[in-house]
Structure 1
Amino acid sequence: MGIIGWIVLGLLAGLIAKAIMPGKDPGGIIITMILGVVGAIIGGFIGNAIFGGGLSTFFSIRTWLLAILGSIILLGIYRLVTGNRARA
């Protein structure tokens, strides 16, 4: 999968993660999309470590589930780190 595929996958995974975990996030949609791209990379590392294979093709269900899982994990960590600053 090329770099544009990674970016598109990450952007969409970030939006899906935001839909699964709604709430107020500091930074807005742009930060959520960036977290999605980085989360897709993290999901690939998780898949490679656990299953022996990370992200493969764009239309693979395993690729999408791992990218969304990585995005959810990263979004949760981001909320824990920045949660107090959002309320202030």
Structure 2
Amino acid sequence: MDLTSLIIQLISGAIGGNAAGALSDKTSLGTLGNSIVGALGGGIGGQILSSLLGIGGAAATSGLDIGTIVSGFATGGLSGGVTALVIGLLKSRFAH
């Protein structure tokens, strides 16, 4: 696991979580909640997606390049957004 890619995925996951929370007031966990859940989802899900798609290993061997940054933001942001959305939906579903 490359630490730089993980940091990129955590940051983009937090951004993705806040973007997902902004889509609907019903699924939003608040700014802090969206950031935390998004970062966790971005870090874990981004690592899983990177390994499944085979797009994470280039950073460790060739240094940090634009492709690695873009793939880190894509996988982390997507995973973070989906995680925040799912947790928000579950929260709103069971809160009633």
TM-score range, shorter chain: 0.5 to 0.7
2:13–2:40 Cα contact (<8 Å) kept: no
**CA offsets per residue over residues 27-73 of structure 1, 9 Å max, x none?**
31111111121122211211112225369459610111111011122
Deviates most, 38-47 or 57-66: 57-66
Distance in 2 between the 1:84 and 1:72 partners?
Answer: 18
Q: CA deviation at 1:85?
A: 4.1
Task: Select the structure with the greater relative contact order (CA < 8 A; seq sep ≥ 6).
Answer: 2
How many residue pairs get aligned? The number is 84
Matches of 1:55 and 1:64, distance apart in 2: 15
Q: Show structure 1 runs of 4+ deviating over 6 A.
A: none
What is the match of residue 39 of structure 2?
37
When residues 76 and 55 of structure 1 are mapped into structure 2, their CA distance, relative to the original with a 3 A threshold, is farther
* Aligned equivalent of 1:28: 30
| Structure number with larger C-alpha Rg | 2
Where do residues 1-88 of structure 1 align in structure 2 (5 Å cutoff)? Answer: 1=3, 6=7, 9-20=9-20, 22-24=23-25, 25=27, 27-41=29-43, 42-51=45-54, 53=56, 56=59, 57=64, 60-85=69-94, 88=96
Root-mean-square deviation over aligned CA pairs: 3.0
What TM-score do the two structures reach when normalised by structure 2?
0.62
Percent identity, please.
13
Residue ranges of structure 1 left out of the alignment (5+ in a row): none
